[in-house]
Amino acid sequence: MKKLSTFLFSFAALVLCLSVGSGNVWAQDALQLTPEGAQVTQNFDSMWDAATGTATLDMPQGWRVERQMNAPRTVGSYSNAATAVMYTGGTSLASNAKNGTWNFASSSEPSDCSVGGLSTTVDGGTRCISVMTCLHNAGDEAITKLALNYDIEKYRDGDNAAGFAVQLYLSNDGNTWTSAGEDFYTYFAPDAATAGAAVVPISTTAITGKQLKVDVAAGGDLYLAWNISVASGSSPNKAMGLSIDNVVIDATFASQDQSCYIYVEDVTKWTTLNMAVDGGEAQPAASSAVINGVTYKVWALDMDGNGHELAFTDNNGSTLTTSITADRDHYLCLTKDEVSEITDPENYTGYVDPTRPPFVASGIYLRGEVNSWGAVADWEFSNEGGGTYVLYDKTLNGQFKVADANWSSACNYGSNGTSVQMGVPYSLVLGTNDNISCGGNSYVCKRIVLSIVDGAATLLLESDDDDTGLTAVYVIGDNNGWNYMDASGKLDLVEGKTFKGQVTLPAVGDGYSHWRIYQRLGMGGVWGAESDLTGNNTQGTLVKGATGKVSTAAGTYVIMIRTLCSTALPRRWARMPTGPSTPCWASRS
């Protein structure tokens, strides 16, 4: 059995398209939507008793709140969620304030309430909080689109190094949840300390103008859950106090929707994706959707029955074109090289790299916090023969094990007492109860390779080194204590393939500061020297995939990186012959 223990860039906008049937028994208090009453709102101010001048615990009708005790970034069943919060307050929250669900109240207007909570691992505490509701289609036609606006309020700062995030999830049954995607993901960087404030909320982040393409049948239900959680890793300690407020949801019914839609599965890895119609101005997607587990960006066109030329572009000049007739919805897959039509979206399971070996079931799974420790189909290794088993395109964080569906003694691999790292073979131990840990890292893996030869098992996390669409790279080293999730060494894209930023490099034991360049947080896409450089190196070439450290005299530098093929050079570094390396210049500021 598993032991119960106490970044990168994503450019695809995700959202959800759900076909749903009749409502569930526990959703009888659902929020009703009709063509005549197509808007629902909630500001949680009913959680204040004006007669007594006190905050209350009871949630408004149609709303529930849930806390997870086992893993962050997890949403439980709507039917088991609570109809009341655990605590009230908000002003000057202590660093050891009670974990759980809260009715937070504004210091300037106590009747201005919001719902959220605090997480911790202390005493088996709260790992994350979800604020939930259920929408019921009480009309006689389908709901095709939702527009959402809401506020995220902060009532306590938190200095958890991973930061915190609010992600909207959706479900058609209140049990199985799907992320609504990047359009509905809000990240909060770590604060300087974990502390409350006398004036609250400390900040308010307004999420406005976001749309979901949905398909909620007449009489059907759609469940929403705003999940408040540590952004990566498994420890939710030093938590921010975050809450949801001022929710406004507007539904569009089928008879009101005279558009056809262009659904685009984006696997280009471009920095941005815009679409122009008939040579017009290129526009970002208006909404997004998930159909049969596949994420799409969605554009709307007038259903005029005419032919149109579509041009998909990014900010770096890449273009793909195709033709459509605006008499129906179209489903397209975009790679870096072509546009192809998806003819059966209800059964389509997503783009498969034609160079990848076909999937062969192995019965072996990666089971951990990333999938609530389940034997999940998406996390089953493919058997590629010769004792090699592979998972493709996964982001891994928290704790996990490698096991079969039954946790059998013959296939239950765990920790050797160390944390796993990107690019370093990790020896697995058979039969141990100890979980493998990613530490505080979130690893974006092109492949996760399991090798089992003569009873010995190893695991290798292979980085996604594709540099398509990068908007920043990171200096990781003595400047941040080799914390691979620390973005303080960020170099932003300034033009072409040139990245620039200011970084302070402190001296360590030998009097110099040592570092490498990474394309993504979590050890993704390393650029280093071919071997460790000693002394004060102001000339040289960084090589993609190399892990040698660069040594630089202590100081604050403006660092510039320009990639050439597989190369990178800093300022004041001598330009080496073009090859598998990168020009990088570093100048003292």
By CB atoms closer than 10 A (0-12, 13-18, 19+), residue 101 is buried
Write the Ramachandran bin of 117: left for phi over 0, alpha for psi from -120 to 50, otherwise beta. left
**Residue 28 — very low, low, confident or very high, per pLDDT cuts 50/70/90?**
low
Give the C-alpha separation, 573 to 560, whole Å. 10
The pLDDT of residue 579 is above 90: no
Residue type, 321: T
> Which tokens is 398 given?
């928290």
To which residue do tokens 């996964």 refer?
394
pLDDT tens track for 64-115: 999 999 889 999 999 999 999 999 999 999 999 999 999 999 999 999 999 9
pLDDT tens track for 279-307: 999 999 988 888 888 889 999 999 999 99
The pLDDT of residue 58 is above 80: yes
Cα 216 from chain centroid (whole Å): 25
Lowest mean pLDDT among 74-88, 208-222, 528-542: 528-542
Name the residue with higher pLDDT: 567 or 227: 227
Give the C-alpha separation, 170 to 188, whole Å. 22
The pLDDT of residue 572 is above 90: no
Q: What spatial distance separates the first Cα and last Cα of the chain, rounded to whole Å?
A: 55
- Calculate ∠ Cα 123-179-436, nearest 5°: 45
* Nearest alpha carbon to residue 273 among 308, 302, 316: 316
Q: Could you say which DSSP state residue 268 is in? A: S
Query: Which pTM does this prediction carry?
Result: 0.69
Q: What is the pLDDT of residue 564?
A: 58
Give the C-alpha separation, 345 to 292, whole Å. 8
Tallying the residues shown for the chain, one arrives at 589
Secondary structure (3-state) at 379: helix
> Could you give the domains of the chain?
19-255 (2.60.120), 258-341 (2.60.40.1110), 361-463 (2.60.40), 472-588 (2.60.40)
Give the C-alpha separation, 83 to 77, whole Å. 13
To which residue do tokens 């149609």 refer?
62
Name the residue with higher pLDDT: 131 or 499: 131
Q: Are 571 and 585 in contact (CB under 8 A)?
A: yes
Q: Are 310 and 300 in contact (CB under 8 A)?
A: no
**Residue 504 — very low, low, confident or very high, per pLDDT cuts 50/70/90?**
very high
- Once rounded to an integer, what is the mean pLDDT over residues 305-318? 89
* Nearest alpha carbon to residue 75 among 167, 187, 183, 177: 177
